[in-house]
Amino acid sequence: MSYSLREAFNQVRSYFRNEQLDREVNEEMASHLEMAVEENLRRGMSPEEARRQALVRFGGVQQALEQQRESRSLPWVDVLRQDLRFTFRMLGRDSGFTIVAVVILALGIGANIAVFSVVNTILLRPLPFRDPQQLVRIVEKDPKAGESSKTYTADATQDFQQQNHSFQSVSGYFAFTGPDNFKLVGGGQPVPTTGLLVAEGFFQTLGVEPVLGRLFRSEEFVQHAQPVALLSYPFWKRRLGADRSIVGKTINLSNSSVVVIGVLPETFDFGSVFSPGAKVDLFVPYIMDDFRDDGNDLALVARLKPGVTQAQAQNETDQLLPQFYFEHKHPEYGKGYTGQLTGLKEYVSGKLRRSLIVLWCAVGLILLIVCVNLSNLLLARAAARSKEFAMRRALGAGRGRLVRQLLTESLVLAVLGAALGLGLAYIILSYLAHQGSIALPLLAMVRVDGTVLEWTLLIAVGAAVLFGAAPGLRMSASNMQEVLKDSGPGLSEGRKRDRLRSTLVITEIALACVLLVGAGLLLRSFLRVLDIDLGFEASHAAAISVDYDDGGNAAKRAAIWQEVTSRSLTIPGVESAGISDNLPMSRNRSWGIAVKSDQKNPNFIPVFVYIVSPGYLKAMGMRLMKGRDLTWDDLSNNRAVVILNETVARTLWPGQDPIGRTAIAGGMDAEVIGVISDVRETGAEDNAGAQMYLPATKQFGPEGSYLVVRSKLPPASLASSVMHTLREINPGQPATEFKPIQSLVDHATSPRRFFVLLVGTFAGLGLLLASLGIYGVISYSVTRQTQEIGIRMALGASQSSVQFDVIWKTLRLALIGVAVGIIASLVLARLIASLLFQTAPSDPFTFAGMVVLLGTVALLAGYLPARKASKIDPMVALRTN
Amino acid sequence: MGQSKLDLLQGTLDVMVLQTLQAMGSLHGYGIARRIEQVSSNEVLLNQGTIYASLVRLQQRGWISAKWGTSDNNRKAKFYSITRLGQKQLVKDTAYWQRLAGVMGRVLGMQSGGGDR
Mean pLDDT of A771-788: 82
pLDDT beyond 80 at A823:
yes
For residue A608, list its beta bridge partners: A590, A691
pLDDT at residue B1 in the model: 36
Please check whether residue A211 lies inside any domain of the structure: yes
Distance in angstroms (rounded) separating the CA atoms of residues A673 and A831: 48
Which tops the pLDDT comparison, A656 or A875?
A: A656
- Residues 6+ away with beta carbon under 8 Å from A211: A233, A263, A264, A265, A266
**How far is CA A118 from each of CA A129, A271, A454, A689, rounded to the nearest angstrom?**
19, 17, 15, 33
Tens digit of each residue's pLDDT (9 = 90 or more) over A268-314: 888 888 877 678 999 999 999 888 877 788 999 999 999 999 999 99
With CA atoms as reference, the chain B residue closest to A27 would be B77
Please check whether residue A36 lies inside any domain of the structure: yes
Query: CB-based contact (8 Å) between A26 and chain B?
Result: no
Distance (Å) from the alpha carbon of A405 to chain B's nearest alpha carbon = 28
Model confidence band, residue A492 (pLDDT cutoffs 50, 70, 90): very low
- Between vectors from CA A445 to CA A444 and to CA A446, what angle results, nearest 5°? 95
Bridging pattern class, strands A641-645 and A668-676: parallel
- Residues 6+ away with beta carbon under 8 Å from A227: A253, A256, A257, A258, A259, A284
With CA atoms as reference, the chain A residue closest to B31 would be A32
Which tops the pLDDT comparison, A796 or B86?
A: B86
Are A658 and A722 spatial neighbours (Cβ–Cβ below 8 Å)? no
DSSP string, A336-368: ----EEEEHHHHHHGGGHHHHHHHHHHHHHHHH
A627 and A484 part of one domain? no
State whether B75 and A58 contact (CB < 8 Å): no
Are A692 and A610 spatial neighbours (Cβ–Cβ below 8 Å)? yes
* Among B8, B10, B18, B48, the residue to mutate for chain A (most A Cβ within 10 A): B48
Tens digit of each residue's pLDDT (9 = 90 or more) over A661-714: 999 887 788 999 999 998 887 776 777 778 899 998 888 888 788 999 999 888
Query: CB-based contact (8 Å) between A37 and chain B?
Result: no
pLDDT at residue A173 in the model: 93
pLDDT beyond 80 at A881:
no
A451 and A564 part of one domain? no
pLDDT beyond 70 at A146:
no
Q: Which of A6, A32, A60 is closest, CB to CB, to B30? A: A32
Structural domain boundaries, residue A491: 352-530+751-879
What are the extents of the domains in chain B?
12-107
Model confidence band, residue A236 (pLDDT cutoffs 50, 70, 90): very high
pLDDT at residue A564 in the model: 93
Model confidence band, residue A830 (pLDDT cutoffs 50, 70, 90): confident
Tens digit of each residue's pLDDT (9 = 90 or more) over A718-749: 889 999 999 999 888 888 888 898 888 888 88
- Between vectors from CA A317 to CA A312 and to CA A323, what angle results, nearest 5°? 145
For residue A255, list its beta bridge partners: none
Distance in angstroms (rounded) separating the CA atoms of residues A316 and A323: 12
Alpha-carbon Rg of chain B, whole angstroms?
17
A717 and A769 part of one domain? no
Which tops the pLDDT comparison, A334 or A825?
A: A825
A310 and A384 part of one domain? no
How many other CB atoms sit within 10 Å of the CB of residue A795? 8
**How far is CA A280 from each of CA A177, A241, A259, A548, B75, rounded to the nearest angstrom?**
10, 17, 18, 22, 86
A207 and A64 part of one domain? no
**How far is CA A273 from each of CA A129, A277, A317, A444, rounded to the nearest angstrom?**
11, 9, 24, 9
**Mean of pLDDT over chain A:** 86
A755 and A679 part of one domain? no
Tens digit of each residue's pLDDT (9 = 90 or more) over A580-613: 988 887 776 778 888 887 766 777 888 888 999 9
- Residues 6+ away with beta carbon under 8 Å from A743: A437
Distance in angstroms (rounded) separating the CA atoms of residues A449 and A429: 12
Q: Which of A11, A24, A57 is closest, CB to CB, to B60? A: A11
Report the percent of chain A where pLDDT is more than 70. Answer: 95
Please check whether residue A347 lies inside any domain of the structure: no
Which tops the pLDDT comparison, A857 or A379?
A: A857
pLDDT at residue A480 in the model: 57
Distance in angstroms (rounded) separating the CA atoms of residues A694 and A668: 11
pLDDT at residue A293 in the model: 79
Chain A, residues 71-90, CB within 8 A of chain B, namely 71-72
Q: Which of B53, B60, B75 is closest, CB to CB, to A35? A: B75
Q: Helices marked H in A252-333 — which ranges?
A: 270-274, 310-320
pLDDT beyond 60 at A184:
yes
Task: Name the maximum alpha-carbon separation found in chain A.
Answer: 140
Q: Which amino acid would we find at residue A727?
A: R
- Residues 6+ away with beta carbon under 8 Å from A757: none
Tens digit of each residue's pLDDT (9 = 90 or more) over A203-228: 999 999 999 999 999 999 999 999 99
Please check whether residue A537 lies inside any domain of the structure: no
Work out the angle between the directed axes of helices B29-39 and B12-24 (0-180°, nearest 10).
100
- Looking at residue A708, the DSSP 8-state letter turns out to be E
**Which CATH number describes the domain made up of B12-107?**
1.10.10.10
Q: Which of A287, A270, A269 is nearest to A199 (CA)?
A: A287
Q: Which of A6, A7, A64 is closest, CB to CB, to B52? A: A64
Please check whether residue A345 lies inside any domain of the structure: no
State whether B49 and A60 contact (CB < 8 Å): yes
Considering its fold, how many domains does chain A have in total?
4
Query: CB-based contact (8 Å) between A45 and chain B?
Result: no
Helix H, strand E, coil C: the string for A403-464 is HHHHHHHHHHHHHHHHHHHHHHHHHHHHHHHCCCCCCCCCHHHCCCCHHHHHHHHHHHHHHH
A586 and A691 part of one domain? yes
Distance in angstroms (rounded) separating the CA atoms of residues A708 and A711: 10
Distance (Å) from the alpha carbon of A11 to chain B's nearest alpha carbon = 8
State whether A27 and B76 contact (CB < 8 Å): yes
pLDDT at residue A271 in the model: 83
Q: Does an H or E element contain A137, and which?
A: strand A135-139
pLDDT at residue A563 in the model: 92
A573 and A678 part of one domain? yes
Are A135 and A786 spatial neighbours (Cβ–Cβ below 8 Å)? no
Q: Does an H or E element contain A251, and which?
A: strand A250-253
Please check whether residue A92 lies inside any domain of the structure: no
The size of the A-B interface in CB pairs under 8 A is 87
A302 and A369 part of one domain? no
Report the percent of chain A where pLDDT is more than 90. Answer: 30
- Residues 6+ away with beta carbon under 8 Å from A216: A198, A200, A203, A228, A230, A261, A285
**How far is CA A206 from each of CA A111, A129, A443, rounded to the nearest angstrom?**
34, 6, 19
Task: Tally the C-alpha atoms within 13 A of residue A731's C-alpha that lie toward its C-beta.
Answer: 1
Mean pLDDT of A405-410: 85
Mean pLDDT of A93-119: 89
A615 and A652 part of one domain? yes
Q: Does an H or E element contain A193, and which?
A: strand A191-193
DSSP string, A517-564: HHHHHHHHHHHHHHHS--SS--TTEEEEE-----TT-HHHHHHHHHHH
- Between vectors from CA A375 to CA A373 and to CA A380, what angle results, nearest 5°? 95
Model confidence band, residue A491 (pLDDT cutoffs 50, 70, 90): very low
Domain boundary among A733, A760, A776: A733
Please check whether residue A444 lies inside any domain of the structure: yes
Distance in angstroms (rounded) separating the CA atoms of residues A230 and A816: 64
State whether A25 and B62 contact (CB < 8 Å): no
- Residues 6+ away with beta carbon under 8 Å from A662: A596, A669, A670, A671, A672
User: What is the mean pLDDT for each group of 10 consecutive residues in chain B (117 residues)?
Assistant: 57 89 91 88 80 91 91 86 93 91 89 56
Q: Which amino acid would we find at residue A374?
A: L
A333 and A358 part of one domain? no
pLDDT at residue A134 in the model: 93
How many other CB atoms sit within 10 Å of the CB of residue A153? 24
Backbone angles phi, psi at A871, to 5 degrees: -90, 0
Indicate the pTM of the whole model. Answer: 0.75
Tens digit of each residue's pLDDT (9 = 90 or more) over A838-847: 888 889 999 9
Cα dihedral sign for A720, A724, A730, A731? positive
With CA atoms as reference, the chain A residue closest to B85 would be A3
pLDDT beyond 50 at A490:
no
Backbone angles phi, psi at A136, to 5 degrees: -130, 155
pLDDT at residue A734 in the model: 85
Please check whether residue A97 lies inside any domain of the structure: no
Q: Which of A28, A61, A67 is closest, CB to CB, to B29? A: A28
Work out the angle between the directed axes of helices B51-60 and A2-16 (0-180°, nearest 10).
110
Q: Which of A35, A58, A65 is closest, CB to CB, to B71? A: A35
Provide the b/e sequence for A52-64 (b: ≥16 CB within 10 Å).
ebbbebbeeeeeb
Q: Which of A6, A60, A71 is closest, CB to CB, to B56? A: A71
Tens digit of each residue's pLDDT (9 = 90 or more) over A41-62: 998 899 999 999 889 888 888 8
Q: What is the predicted ipTM?
A: 0.87
DSSP string, A817-859: HHHHHHHHHHHHHGGGGGG-SS--TT-HHHHHHHHHHHHHHHH
State whether A60 and B57 contact (CB < 8 Å): no
Distance in angstroms (rounded) separating the CA atoms of residues A88 and A96: 13
With CA atoms as reference, the chain A residue closest to B56 would be A72
A649 and A609 part of one domain? yes
Distance (Å) from the alpha carbon of B105 to chain A's nearest alpha carbon = 30
